[in-house]
């Protein structure tokens, strides 16, 4: 068991684009779904500009090339940062600026293409909160006005519909997309969040494991895995009923979340078992976090004056060791078994110089 290690300081989980880690998890999941669709949309816009080339010239099409490069760079950077929403929003804004520039370079004929600026709003509402959508719509409206005046201000003055029509399209797309966004958030939250504790569930874990595997391959940074299990949970249900057990799980979940950084994520695996993924932490750092969680649970008085303890097993992928979730889970699970067998209410770390035993944890 590791004790006395200086903990890394938790960082705030929320940002102006994501309210919490669950919001960030939903956004990353949707980004995976949007990426191939976005590529097809870029191809459609490029084909439209190519078809218009004899009348507008080929410079607008050439300007679209950096847009593809920007998205490729952003896709590589996103898994490497703790707040990927900032990268994603900045990339979205740059892509809109490039599209507006292409419209301006089309000259007077570009007035008909102004409505294309509304297309990316659909991807905006599918990923970000209302605050992010409003900020994005404001950016698009400003770019639309600048583009309209940029290619022929006198033409817009003579025929205001050249500006009014695309603005109406932009606002309509945003308004119609918002209910779809809210519905998606509700259904996706139900799908990836454990209803009892509010923690992420196994479905959300699968997506995060895939992302961390890619991140580990890019950066070579370690990833810690912590498995935590409430001690003698059956006795809580036997003495106080299932309602007492449910309240205990809810309170313990709150204690666990308070110990985490913005990019550490906790999951309920089922029953009284939890899992924490700790990106960027080696075995010693992950063990320090596990010890803080154990101490926090031990020191807390839960609903009804209940006191509980927790046993935890820890493993980690060291530097130069690829993040292999299955093997790390087995190692942490074996360490958890040793913690239970050694008297419970303690942290044990994986014996990484030998194969994990895969023994079942005690109750």
Cβ pair 149, 101 in contact under 8 A: no
Res. 170: pLDDT tops 80 = yes
Span 310-324, mean pLDDT? Answer: 86
**Domain presence at residue 122:** yes
- Do 291 and 174 fall within a single domain? no
110-165 residue pLDDT tens: 667 788 888 888 888 777 878 888 999 999 999 998 888 776 667 777 778 878 88
Res. 27: pLDDT tops 60 = yes
pTM summary value: 0.55
Span 171-175, mean pLDDT? Answer: 89
- Residue 72 has what pLDDT? 85
Cβ pair 363, 245 in contact under 8 A: no
- Do 240 and 140 fall within a single domain? no
Q: How confident is the model at residue 109 (pLDDT cuts 50, 70, 90)?
A: low
Cβ pair 144, 116 in contact under 8 A: no
Distance CA 346, CA 290 (A): 9
- Within a 13 Å sphere around the CA of 167, how many CA atoms are in the beta-carbon half? 15
* Catalytic-residue membership of 272: yes
- Do 130 and 261 fall within a single domain? no
Q: How confident is the model at residue 5 (pLDDT cuts 50, 70, 90)?
A: very low
- 305 three-class SS: helix
Q: Which of 192, 223, 239 is the last residue of a domain?
A: 192
Cβ pair 21, 256 in contact under 8 A: no
- Do 30 and 123 fall within a single domain? yes
Distance CA 79, CA 308 (A): 37
- Do 206 and 141 fall within a single domain? no
Q: How confident is the model at residue 320 (pLDDT cuts 50, 70, 90)?
A: low
253-276 residue pLDDT tens: 999 988 987 778 899 998 999 999
Cβ pair 294, 339 in contact under 8 A: no
202-252 residue pLDDT tens: 888 887 898 888 888 887 889 999 999 999 998 988 888 888 899 999 999
Q: Which of 169, 192, 215 is the last residue of a domain?
A: 192
Span 169-177, mean pLDDT? Answer: 88
- Do 77 and 181 fall within a single domain? yes
- Please name which of 211, 199, 341 lies closest in space to residue 274, comparing C-alpha atoms: 199
Cβ pair 309, 345 in contact under 8 A: yes
- 200 three-class SS: strand
Alpha-helical regions (H) of the chain: 21-51, 53-56, 59-63, 65-77, 84-105, 119-127, 130-158, 161-192, 202-219, 233-258, 283-299, 325-341
Q: How deeply is 40 buried, as exposed, middle or buried, from its count of CB atoms within 10 A (0-12, 13-18, 19+)?
A: exposed
> What residue ranges in the chain does DSSP mark as E strands?
223-230, 265-270, 273-279, 310-317, 347-349
Q: Which of 192, 220, 242 is the last residue of a domain?
A: 192
Average pLDDT of the chain, as a whole number? 82
Least confident among 84-98, 118-132, 232-246, 286-300 = 118-132
Span 96-102, mean pLDDT? Answer: 88
Q: Which residues pair with 268 in a beta bridge?
A: 274
Q: What is the number of structural domains in the chain?
A: 2
- 1 three-class SS: coil
Scan for tokens 């110990």, then name that residue. Answer: 259
- Residue 341 has what pLDDT? 95
- Measured at the CA of 199, the angle between CA 193 and CA 204, to 5 degrees, comes to 50
Of residues 272, 273, 291, 295, which has the active-site annotation? 272
**Domain presence at residue 309:** yes
- Do 170 and 243 fall within a single domain? no
Distance CA 72, CA 77 (A): 9
- Do 42 and 184 fall within a single domain? yes
Full domain range(s) for residue 246: 202-349
């Amino acid at each position: 068991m590791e004790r006395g290690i200086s903990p890394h300081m938790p960082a705030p989980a929320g940002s102006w684009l994501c309210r919490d880690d669950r919001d960030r998890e939903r956004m990353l999941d949707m980004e995976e779904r949007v990426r191939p669709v976005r590529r097809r949309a870029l191809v459609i816009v490029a084909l439209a500009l190519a078809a218009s080339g004899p009348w507008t010239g080929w410079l607008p099409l050439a300007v679209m090339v950096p847009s593809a490069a920007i998205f490729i760079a952003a896709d590589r950077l996103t898994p490497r940062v703790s707040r990927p929403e900032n990268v994603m929003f900045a990339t979205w804004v740059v892509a809109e600026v490039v599209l507006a520039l292409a419209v301006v370079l089309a000259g007077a004929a570009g007035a008909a293409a102004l409505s294309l600026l509304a297309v990316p709003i659909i991807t905006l509402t599918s990923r970000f909160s209302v605050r992010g959508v409003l900020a994005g719509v404001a950016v698009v409206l400003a770019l639309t006005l600048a583009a309209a005046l940029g290619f022929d201000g006198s033409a817009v003055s003579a025929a205001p519909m050249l500006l009014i029509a695309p603005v109406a399209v932009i606002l309509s797309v945003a308004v119609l997309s918002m209910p779809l966004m809210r519905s998606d958030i509700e259904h996706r939250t139900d799908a990836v969040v454990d209803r009892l504790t509010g923690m992420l569930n196994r479905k959300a874990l699968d997506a995060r494991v895939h992302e961390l595997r890619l991140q580990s391959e890019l950066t070579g940074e370690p990833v810690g895995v912590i498995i935590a299990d409430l001690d003698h949970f059956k006795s809580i249900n036997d003495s106080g009923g299932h309602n007492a057990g449910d309240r205990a799980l809810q309170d313990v979940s709150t204690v666990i979340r308070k110990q985490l950084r913005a990019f550490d994520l906790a999951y309920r695996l089922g029953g009284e078992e939890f899992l924490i993924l700790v990106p960027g932490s080696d075995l010693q750092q992950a063990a320090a976090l596990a010890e803080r969680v154990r101490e926090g649970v031990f020191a807390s008085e839960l609903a009804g004056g209940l006191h509980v303890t927790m046993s935890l097993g820890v493993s980690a992928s060291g530097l130069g060791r690829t993040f292999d979730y299955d093997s790390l889970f087995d190692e942490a699970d074996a360490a958890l078994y040793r913690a239970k067998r050694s008297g419970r209410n303690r942290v044990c770390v994986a014996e990484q110089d030998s194969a994990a035993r895969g023994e079942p944890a005690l109750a």
